[in-house]
Amino acid sequence: MGVTEFRLPTISRPIRHLQRYRQILMVFTRHGFGFALAHLPTEPLWLRDLYPYPRQERASLPFHFRQALEELGPAFVKLGQVLSTRPDLLPPDYIVELTKLQDEVPPVAWAEIEHVLIGELGRPLDEVFEEINTRPLAAASLAQVHLAKLNTHERVALKVQRPNILRTLKTDLEIIHDIAEYAQGHTPLGHVYNLEEIAEDFADTLNRELDYVAEGRNADRFRHNFADESGVYIPVVHWDFTTKRLLVMEFIEGIKIDQIRAIDGAGYDREEIAKNAARMIIQEVLLDGFFHADPHPGNFLVMEGNVIGALDFGMVGYLTRADRVNLIRLYNVAVQMNAKGATEELIHIGAAPYDVDRRVLTRDIERLLQHYGGRALKDIHLGDLVDEVMPVIFEHRLKMPTNYWLLAKTLAMMEGIGLKLAPGFDIFGFSAPYVNRLILGTVVPDGRWLGDMVRRGMSWIDLLDALPQAGRLLIDRLEKHEPVRLALDDRSLNVLDRLATRLALSLIVAGMIVGLAWLIPAVTGANWLVQASVIVSFIVAILMGFRILWSIVRKR
């Protein structure tokens, strides 16, 4: 039995979902958000009995916003979780409150779950299971989990999608899209953000979370990545019985990672557990670029031998190599207390628009960096840092990539767990060799001046990367006979021509020097003629470099 994916509508349909619209507005009005009705062009008659609007203290509105989302059901709970990763959209106090969203609901009756199981397996349950515990281990808004034993005597956890959940979500997603479509054209936020695109991304995210085949693949990928790590265990997926609505996975037992007394009572080594957790995060972020994005304590168990068992792989984050390079560059300028460099990097990754007020943004970053200046890395807590960064993001509407913010929240949450396990554990000190290896191997050589030079060199490479696209756009405009105005005289154009030529020659010579320097050790032991050719070419490239340098000095 397949899952019908959500397709967002192209037109609004408030009449069709009138009852649900009314329910949503009543919930938000009851929680103090009735003032939002003032943004409607005309107030529908069916809203008149919502008067008088109850008022809430401004400070309590984030709390009531979270409560309203929880009251409205799974689609709005998931929306709140997504919004908690967008500090550019909501003020910091709302973001903090949304991280507390609870996804726990009363369980569905066993008869309904049994019906889903039979439909997904396509056969009687006794042909597959020796026994099933009809009392759920956990119940959430989208699914609930039951313990079972296969006929092969293996214990498994069954994650079963709730019946009729698709119908409820489809209606709510259509309404969310309608609201986003209206806000796009009638609110100031619509002039800054593409709210319809955000609604569509949210629908895609929810689709992925409802696809348990995709979750099983995530688990397999984690299992492969940690195959050589003895301190982390990923349960096995039973693919013979897994479908889009049913996930059958090996059942593992252990103590929740935040239950310190139970861990001590079992005689486990908390310091070793903290190290295993740190190694897990380091590998996910720095090496694999694929991380568990829902690291609340219930998803990590401490097992025999201080091993960490991971659960629930529906929410994951991705970091491309470019993402990791960008993060290292941001880290590099931050530790150098270089606020201007941080502003440049934020613009480079697209977090800050090119027309941002650089002076004000640099000033705010400077204040933030000065607050942490002089502190040892081990004395900096990521949770506090995230809280202080949020106002800057919101103030300047910095559109941080979702995976970056998801990573920040993940690291802060794991840091909190680590501090509970071993208060004296220095995660920065432990991870320093890995970070340095990544910096030395892929991005920034050691040394402040050299790091700054390489960072600026990479900015030039980014510029050259963008030139072909800009050139194509210019040619398109010329072909369409659109006016292209350059406020430059002949003298200025000659200066630009000389600068471009010098830049091109400099890059070519630098590439030759670096390439030949890498090639010299590779030809060791080769034919003497090959070695001589490489060495002579290297010397010629060096001389050309000095020639260009001399021409620059002489012109100055």
Residues assigned a catalytic role: 294
Question: CA-CA-CA-CA torsion for 260, 266, 267, 271, nearest 10 degrees?
Answer: -40
Query: What DSSP letter does each residue of 126-182 carry, written as one string?
Result: GGTEEEE-SS-SEE-SSEEEEEEEETTS-EEEEEEEPTTHHHHHHHHHHHHHHHHHH
Bridge pairing between strands 307-310 and 232-233: parallel
| H or E element, residue 309 | strand 307-310
Answer for the pair 442, 451: CB distance below 8 angstroms, yes or no.
Answer: no
Q: How far apart are CA 496 and CA 494, in angstroms?
A: 5
Structure tokens of 12? 């609004």
Q: How far apart are CA 514 and CA 461, in angstroms?
A: 15
Answer for the pair 516, 537: CB distance below 8 angstroms, yes or no.
Answer: yes
DSSP letter, residue 450: H
- Ramachandran quadrant class, 216 (left: phi over 0; alpha: psi -120 to 50; beta: rest): alpha
Bridge pairing between strands 143-150 and 138-139: antiparallel
What does residue 228 show for φ and ψ, rounded to 5 degrees?
Answer: -100, 5
Which residue's structure tokens are 């001589």? 532
Q: How far apart are CA 9 and CA 196, in angstroms?
A: 11
Question: Side chain identity at 54, as an amino acid letter?
Answer: P
- Terminal-to-terminal C-alpha distance of the chain: 74
Q: How far apart are CA 122 and CA 117, in angstroms?
A: 8
